[in-house]
Structure 1
Amino acid sequence: MSLPALPLFVKLAGRPVILIGEGEAAEAKRRLLERAGAKIVGIEDRASLAVVAVDDPERIVTALRERGVLVNTVDRPELCDFTVPAIVDRSPVLVAIGTAGVSAGLAAALRQKLEVLLPARLGRLAEALHAARGAMRARWPDGAERRRALGAAFAGQLDPLLEGSEDAVGPWLARAAAPSRALIRIRLRSGDPDDLTLREARFLAGADRLFHRPDVPDAILDRARADAVRIPCDAPPTESGEGMSVDLEMAG
């Protein structure tokens, strides 16, 4: 399954961004760009990004693209090289929700749901983990081992949705042990990822590697982390390797 766009977080502090237009839509974009620290400039200035909020924007967009500028055109997804997502801000944690320009209303509705779900102190957990990076690297020098330990912690003591998890980083690190090997077998009832149970989806999201039969569809494999190793095989593995492995096969 291909992505309609690749989500990126771009640091704009002090960087020029062209903004063309007036009115409510342009002002909303201006506020967002200024919040990100961008320097708002005009069409004649040099910049890599531009936001266009005018009627009949085709000529302006063409001229900007000819200069190699990436353009966001308000309410015209077919004229967008990039889109601006709905944002849930728990700085330094940012959650961006996009629909590739198909439905800004849906993105906004999802943002409202996540605003209620994600605790206001989530950013403090990120800061606590950042402060503990040196201690974590000392305890788990191997990056994969460190990632597995964190994965186990996020499923329990450091659950991002758990109240007070930001205060649990120190105690967790003081007594944490590297997770043991685990092999989870999942028999898929269908090739539709929406048929996965919540437990199965969590196993996929946390797996270090996926063993799978050739008939397991990409739509299921895509639910795993991008850096999880994919290993096609005709039979269940006899050795799983370190960390968490998931073996996938279609039900008969």
Structure 2
Amino acid sequence: MPPSPPQADALPHLPVFLTVRGRVCVLVGGSEATAPKFELLRRAGATVRLVGEDPDVAGTAAEILPGPLTAAHLADACLVIDASGDDRTNQRSAVVARAAGVPLNVVDRPALCDFILPAILDRSPVVVAISTGGAAPALAGLIRQELEALIPPGLGRLVALSGTLRDEIRHRIADPARRLAFWRRLYRDRVADRAAALDLLDRVATECPSPGSLTRIVLGPGGEQDLTLRQVAALRRADLLLVGDGVDPAVLDHARRDAPRRPPVQTPAEAAALHEALKQGLQVAQLVAEAVPQGTALLAAE
């Protein structure tokens, strides 16, 4: 069956985080890119099988086999990375890997790749991957540098602490909106230890929830281009979006992907549900296209 034509909103790649710990990953060496790729695989816990000579990693690879790459090299392998920097070797890797059904990455040759390796911001266990689809790796690296200033190094420790609290939070707070309020305060206050986190949990579990807010965003003919910084901030923190007719779809790209999108409120039952959500502390953004007649009454947070 021929591949389907790409959709307008199609992703160039499927973003995944692959578990390679304890699994064989083949690395074809030969260029200065070999050592960084080896280190990446090593940190992910892979058993690295090096094909070819490379003095920088030869003493630390689990296996060292002579090249060129053959099907035998790929036995039990979950992936192969060609860091040889040689065109003929790259072409051979593509033929051998595809015949064996093993996913291949060829450094700096996106046309030969089954998968690509993004720029990585490591705040373990928080890991942020930035990709330009292989078109501009240098730009991905610059974006990573920008994010490094926004995501503090200590965030990884806070996330690790959060993992130890999940069962306790589910036991103490049944309401999902109240749990979300706890997580927001935990991350906002950068709680440093378990005792302080449990103290915050006690306070959130017993106090009345803070009221939510309803932010009305009126969009002019320019759609996304008319957004102000304050409106973008409101979109990013919104738990629920009420989207009117004629709203530029590009505007929604600035909102959280997990935030539900619903039409504007039109019935008393929908109005009651919205008011209940606001009482529970949800942040709601209502998007209105200026050119569309305003036939729907807007609700204000109580």
TM class by shorter chain equals 0.7 to 0.9
The DSSP-based 3-state class of the residue aligned with 1:141 is: coil
Would you say 1:231 and 2:262 are equivalent positions?
yes
Q: Which residue of 2 aligns with 1:46?
A: 76
Q: Following the alignment from structure 2 to structure 1, what is the Cα–Cα distance between the partners of residues 78 and 175?
A: 38
Pick aligned residue for 2:168 from 97, 118, 135: 135
Structure 1 unaligned spans of 5+: none
Contact 2:238 2:255 in 1 (8 A): yes
The structure 1 segments of at least 4 consecutive aligned residues displaced by more than 6 Å after TM superposition are: 234-237
Cα-to-partner distance string for 1:88-139 (whole Å, 9 max, x where unaligned): 2111111222111111111112222322332221111112212221221123
1:29 deviates by: 0.6
Cα-to-partner distance string for 1:159-213 (whole Å, 9 max, x where unaligned): 2xx6x53345334222125453432221124322x65333322332333322112
CA RMSD, Structure 1 to Structure 2 (Å): 2.6
Pick aligned residue for 1:166 from 174, 192, 195: 192
Q: Residue 213 of structure 1 aligns to which amino acid in structure 2? A: G
The DSSP-based 3-state class of the residue aligned with 1:11 is: coil
Contact 1:48 1:68 in 2 (8 A): no
Change in CA separation of 1:3 and 1:202 when aligned onto 2, cut-off 3 Å: farther
User: What are the equivalent positions in structure 2 for 1:26-175 lying under 5 Å apart?
Assistant: 26-41=34-49, 43-54=73-84, 55-56=86-87, 57-143=90-176, 145-151=178-184, 153=185, 158-159=187-188, 164-167=190-193, 169-175=197-203
The DSSP-based 3-state class of the residue aligned with 1:183 is: strand
Q: Which has the larger radius of gyration?
A: 2
Larger mean CA deviation between 72-81 and 134-143 belongs to 134-143
Pick aligned residue for 2:12 from 4, 26, 33: 4
Q: Following the alignment from structure 1 to structure 2, what is the Cα–Cα distance between the partners of residues 84 and 125?
A: 27
Q: Following the alignment from structure 1 to structure 2, what is the Cα–Cα distance between the partners of residues 245 and 139?
A: 26
Change in CA separation of 1:120 and 1:174 when aligned onto 2, cut-off 3 Å: same
Change in CA separation of 1:224 and 1:36 when aligned onto 2, cut-off 3 Å: same
Q: Which residue of 2 aligns with 1:187?
A: 218
Percent of aligned pairs with the same amino acid: 39
Q: Which residue of 2 aligns with 1:210?
A: 241
Q: How many residues were matched structurally?
A: 244
Q: Following the alignment from structure 1 to structure 2, what is the Cα–Cα distance between the partners of residues 136 and 100?
A: 39
Larger mean CA deviation between 214-223 and 95-104 belongs to 214-223
The DSSP-based 3-state class of the residue aligned with 1:204 is: helix
TM-score where L is the length of structure 2: 0.71
Q: Following the alignment from structure 2 to structure 1, what is the Cα–Cα distance between the partners of residues 228 and 101?
A: 45
Structure 2 unaligned spans of 5+: 1-8, 52-72, 292-302
Q: Following the alignment from structure 1 to structure 2, what is the Cα–Cα distance between the partners of residues 250 and 11?
A: 44
Change in CA separation of 1:150 and 1:195 when aligned onto 2, cut-off 3 Å: farther
The DSSP-based 3-state class of the residue aligned with 1:48 is: strand
1:74 deviates by: 0.4
Q: Which residue of 2 aligns with 1:245?
A: 284
Q: Following the alignment from structure 1 to structure 2, what is the Cα–Cα distance between the partners of residues 92 and 10?
A: 14
Pick aligned residue for 2:251 from 220, 233, 248: 220
Q: Which residue of 1 aligns with 2:26?
A: 18
Change in CA separation of 1:206 and 1:6 when aligned onto 2, cut-off 3 Å: farther
Cα-to-partner distance string for 1:188-245 (whole Å, 9 max, x where unaligned): 24322x6533332233233332211232132222322222222234979734252232
Cα-to-partner distance string for 1:52-107 (whole Å, 9 max, x where unaligned): 12322123213212322221110011222211111121111112221111111111
The DSSP-based 3-state class of the residue aligned with 2:77 is: coil
Contact 1:18 1:45 in 2 (8 A): no
TM-score where L is the length of structure 1: 0.84
Contact 1:213 1:234 in 2 (8 A): no
Contact 1:149 1:179 in 2 (8 A): no
